[in-house]
Amino acid sequence: MDDPALHNYDVIIIGGGLTGLRAALQFFRAGRSCAIVSKVHPLRSHSVAAQGGMNASLGNVPGDGGAVDTWERHAYDTIKGSDYLADQNAVVRMCKEAAATVIELEHMGTVWSRLENGTIAQRPFGGAGFPRTCYAADRTGHNILHTLYEQVTDKKIPVFEEFFVTSLVTAGGRCTGCTALEIMTGALHGFVAKATLMATGGFGRIFSRSTNAIINTGDGQTLAIRAGAALKDMEFVQFHPTSLVGTNILISEAARGEGGILVNANGERFMTGYAPRSADLAPRDVVARAIEQEIADGRGFEGGYVHLDLRHLGAGRIRERLPGVCLITQDFAGVDPVTEPIPIQPAQHYSMGGISVGIGGQSDLPGLYAAGECACISVHGANRLGGNSLLETVVFGRLVADSIIRDIASVPLPASGPVLASLGEIEEKIEGILRRTGGEPLFPVIDSLKETMYSRFGIFRERSGMEKGLAEIKKLHERLVNISVSDKNRVANQALVRYLELEYMVPAAVAVALGAMAREESRGSHTRTDFPARDDEHFLNHTITRMRDGEIGITYTPVTPGMFSPEERVY
Ligand SMILES: Cc1cc2nc3c(=O)[nH]c(=O)nc-3n(C[C@H](O)[C@H](O)[C@H](O)COP(=O)(O)OP(=O)(O)OC[C@H]3O[C@@H](n4cnc5c(N)ncnc54)[C@H](O)[C@@H]3O)c2cc1C
C-alpha cells in the first residue's frame, strides 16, 4: 500500500509566496508535476504585505524634460543603487524582462492602478531616475499574490499548506527532497523530488525591529547551508527608513514617492542636506542612515523618531493613492496623515543576501535551486531599490523554473530511502524536544537574539560591538539545547514551530555577523563607522558562507561586471 506520508513530484517548491506560486505555474505549463509546501496558507505569505509597487520601464510617465524610460536606465539605477555589488548579467536580465512581466500579470488579473489615459500608472521611487514603479494603490503585493494564487488554484496544483519543512535531504551529493511537519496534526511527511526549489523568503525576523512577517525566520537559508549549499552576501541587510514608531509596520516608500517629506524635531526638512539632488527619494540606505544620524545628533523626537509629513499632498491624493497607509496610521497610532505628520523610525526590511545561486537559480548543491528573497542571485547587491523585489520574485520565479525544467529532463526520480531515513531522524528529534522539561523558556531566548542583532548589527556597525554581538549569539546557540517548550502535544503545536524556527534563526544570524565583521568597508546598507569608505580594491566581491562540520566560515568571489563601471554614488 502507498505510504500517505510519502509524496513524489518532479519538483517540490518550498514557499507559497510570489516566487513559489509563479514557479508552480511554469511547471504546470511544461507538464511537470510539482507541489508547493508552505508553513502558512499561501495568501498569508509575506508577499501579501508588499505595498508600494513593482518596477518596469514601461515609460508611461515621462521623466525630466520628457525623457522616456528604458531597461538600460532601470539597470543603471539598480546597479548604482546596489553600490556596484549586484551581478550585472542578472540585473540586465531582470530589467529586460520587467515590462513583459507586468503585462503578463495584468493578463492574469492583477488590477494595476491607471493613469487618466488608461495606461498602467507609475510612481517615482527611491533611487530611480524615472517614475517607474507600477502599483495597485498601496496594496500591490496583496493584488499580485491573489492573482497568482487564483491561477494556481485554477490549475489544481497541490498545495501542502501549514506544512513546516524540517530538513533538506541529500543523497550521492544531490538534493533529493525534504521532510515536513504537518502543523495541524503533528504528522511528518517526506517529499521525494528530482529538484527542490527554495522560495522561503527573507530572514528579517532575526532583528527586533522589523517590518517583516513573523514567519520570516531564515528557514530556507539555514536549511540550505546545513545541506551543503553556500550563502552569499548575508551581511547586506536593508533597513527601511519609514516604519511606524512602536509597531514597525511599514509606511511605504510610496508615501515619499507621492511627495511626502521627512522632518526632524526642529521642523527642518533634513534630507536636502544628505542627498541634495534626490532628497527624500534617495535610496533607502542613504535615507535610513540620515534619519538615524538626526536622532543620534539630538534632532529627533523623544523616543527616537522623526516625522513623515504628507499633509501638503491634500486629502484627495492621500486617500486615493495611499489608502493602506491611512488605515495603518489611524488603526495603530491614531494618526490621520491628512491632518497630522506620521511618527516614523527605521526598521529592518529586506534580506539582500541569501542562498548563493547563479542566474539559472542553481545552488552549488545539485538538485537544489532558489529564487526570490531567500536567494542571492544577485540583483540587489549591497542595497535593494524599492519596487525591485516584487519584480525579482515574479521574473526569477519563472526563469528559475525554466532552468529546472531543462535540468531535470534526464534526471530520474530519486530513491525514497534517504527521505525515509531523514523522517526517522526528525521524528526522534521532535520527540526529544517535546520530552525536555525544566530548562529555559523559549521566548526570552528569541528576544535576546533579536535585540543583539538590532543593537550590534544594525544600521551603524563597528568591530568591538560586533565582536560582543557574535559572542552573545554563540551563547544563545549553547542555550538552545536547554530550552523546553511548554506545549507537549503534537497537534497544532505553535511553540514547537517557534522553537524549530529559532534553530534556523541562529545560523542565519551567525552568517550575518561573520560577513559584517570581515567586510572592512562601508557599502550600501553595510555601514562600518570604523571603515567609512567603500573599498573596491579589496571588497568588490561577494561574501560566500559555508558550513563545514557545523562551523560557519567565509570566503569571497568576484562580482560579475558589465556595462556600468563603479563610480561614486551621488544622490
Ligand atoms: C512590509 C513590506 C512591504 C514591501 N513592499 C514591497 C514593494 O512594494 N515592492 C517590492 O518590490 N518589494 C516589497 N517588499 C519586499 C517583498 O515583499 C518581498 O521581498 C517578497 O514578497 C518576497 O517574496 P518571496 O516569494 O521570495 O517570499 P515570501 O512571500 O516571504 O514567501 C515565503 C514563503 O516561504 C514559506 N516558508 C518559509 N519557511 C518555510 C518552512 N520552514 N517550511 C515551509 N514553508 C516555509 C512561507 O510559508 C511563505 O509561503 C516589501 C517587504 C515588506 C516587509
Ligand 1 pocket test target in 37, 38, 138, 504 with most atoms within 8 Å of CB: 38
CA of 149 to the centre of ligand 1 (A): 14
CA of 455 to the centre of ligand 1 (A): 24
Q: Which atom of ligand 1 is nearest to the CA of 253?
A: 8
With a Cβ cut-off of 6 Å, ligand 1 is lined by 14-20, 37-40, 42, 45-47, 49-54, 140-141, 164-165, 199-201, 211-212, 215-216, 219-220, 250, 349-350, 372-374, 386-390, 393
Ligand 1 pocket test target in 209, 258, 389 with most atoms within 8 Å of CB: 389
Q: What is the DSSP letter of 411?
A: P
Burial of 429 (0-12, 13-18, 19+ CB in 10 A): middle
CA of 64 to the centre of ligand 1 (A): 33
**Nearest CA, atom 8, ligand 1:** 52
Q: What is the DSSP letter of 37?
A: E
Burial 86-113 (b: 16+ CB within 10 A, else e): bbbebbbbbbebbbebbbebeeeebebb
Supply the pLDDT for residue 556: 98
Q: Which atom of ligand 1 is nearest to the CA of 163?
A: 43
Ligand 1 pocket test target in 390, 499, 500 with most atoms within 8 Å of CB: 390
Q: Which atom of ligand 1 is nearest to the CA of 21?
A: 25
- Catalytically active residues, by annotation: 284
CA 263, 50, 52, 57 torsion-angle sign: positive
Distance CA 35, CA 457 (A): 37
CA of 66 to the centre of ligand 1 (A): 35
Ligand 1 pocket test target in 102, 146, 200 with most atoms within 8 Å of CB: 200
| Residue 182 grid coordinates | 504537518
Supply the pLDDT for residue 495: 96
Supply the pLDDT for residue 2: 67
**Nearest CA, atom 33, ligand 1:** 15
Q: What is the pLDDT of residues 468-489, one digit of tens each?
A: 999 999 999 889 999 999 999 9
Residue 430's closest CA among 225, 186, 169, 200?
A: 186
**Nearest CA, atom 50, ligand 1:** 50
**Nearest CA, atom 49, ligand 1:** 16
Ligand 1 pocket test target in 46, 209, 399 with most atoms within 8 Å of CB: 46
Low-confidence ranges of the chain (pLDDT < 50): 1
Distance CA 180, CA 40 (A): 13
CA of 392 to the centre of ligand 1 (A): 11
Residue 426's closest CA among 189, 162, 132, 146?
A: 189
Distance CA 283, CA 3 (A): 52
Q: Which atom of ligand 1 is nearest to the CA of 40?
A: 47
CA of 217 to the centre of ligand 1 (A): 11
Distance CA 389, CA 378 (A): 11
Supply the pLDDT for residue 1: 43
196: phi then psi, degrees, rounded to nearest 5: -120, 125
Query: What angle, rounded to 10 degrees, do the helices at 494-518 and 463-480 form?
Result: 150
Q: Which atom of ligand 1 is nearest to the CA of 202?
A: 30
Distance CA 388, CA 8 (A): 34
CA of 17 to the centre of ligand 1 (A): 6
CA of 106 to the centre of ligand 1 (A): 20
CA of 375 to the centre of ligand 1 (A): 11
DSSP 172-189: TTEEEEEEEEETTT--EE
Residue 121's closest CA among 64, 52, 70?
A: 52
Query: What angle, rounded to 10 degrees, do the helices at 88-108 and 71-81 form?
Result: 120
| Residue 475 grid coordinates | 551563547
Q: What is the DSSP letter of 415?
A: P
> Which residues lie closer than 8 Å to 231 by C-beta, 6 or more apart?
221, 224, 225, 353, 354, 355, 356, 376, 511, 544, 545, 546
**Nearest CA, atom 52, ligand 1:** 50
Distance CA 422, CA 475 (A): 28
Q: Which atom of ligand 1 is nearest to the CA of 223?
A: 41
**Nearest CA, atom 41, ligand 1:** 165
Q: Which atom of ligand 1 is nearest to the CA of 212?
A: 53
Distance CA 305, CA 492 (A): 39
